[in-house]
Amino acid sequence: MTAPEAGRGIGNGEHAAEITTTFVGLPRDSFRILHVSTGNVCRSPITERLTRHFVAQRLGVLGGGLIVESAGTWGHEGAPMEANAETVLADFGADASGFVGRELLDEHVIRADLVLTATRDHRAQVISMGHSAGLRTFTLKEFTRLVKAIDPATLPPLEDGVVLRARALVRAAAALRGWLLAPTVEADEVYDPYGAPLTFFRSVGDEIHEALDPVVTALTGVAARA
């Protein structure tokens, strides 16, 4: 693909946004975040919609050029989000409407500026697809750990645009990888709640919320409201 598409805004219910065409090597006015899990009906939809929700709270509806979407390595193409996942999103006041599951494709990885996965296995699968994805693919919890170690003062100010700030954040996180290792193997995993009761879904939602909050704060330069 020589002319990847890039959108503006947080995106709509079918993972698309206002589409513009950009070309490799030319400046872009958007930054695309791709959340990846297995079926794209539980973890990655929760993470996608919570990210959109938190960005909108901080920056407004358009999100300053951030696009947030998701896919699954064994994605249930065309499937709705799991009902318990919708309930978890409702708990946080996030919008679950219009979601449609999809399988991870090469084009999704090519277009992504940052790929955040539920587990290390998902990360390995994304990287194995090629497309120079290694430096921009992390597990969610791994990225959180790295982001917490980055001095916000070293990032471009929000006045320069959230896209510029987001690209700098990914570069800084990639530079730290290998220096800040996970304390345990399990520390970078968000386990699959598929088929589990609502209580487990809610615990997974809390994990995702805790991991996302510092990431969105670093991306936007705006802390969550107390």
What pLDDT does residue 61 have?
Answer: 65
| H-run or E-run covering 197 | none
What pLDDT does residue 181 have?
Answer: 81
What pLDDT does residue 112 have?
Answer: 97
What pLDDT does residue 63 have?
Answer: 64
| Residues of the chain under the 50 pLDDT cut | 1-27
The dihedral through the CA atoms of 26, 130, 144, 212 has a sign that is: positive
pLDDT digits 0-9 by tens, 103-115: 999 999 999 999 9
Strands (DSSP E) found in 31-127: 31-37, 66-72, 114-117
Task: Locate 146 and state its tokens.
Answer: 């790295």
* pTM score of the predicted model: 0.87
C-alpha–C-alpha distance, residues 43 and 10, integer Å: 18
At 32, give phi and psi (nearest 5°): -105, 125
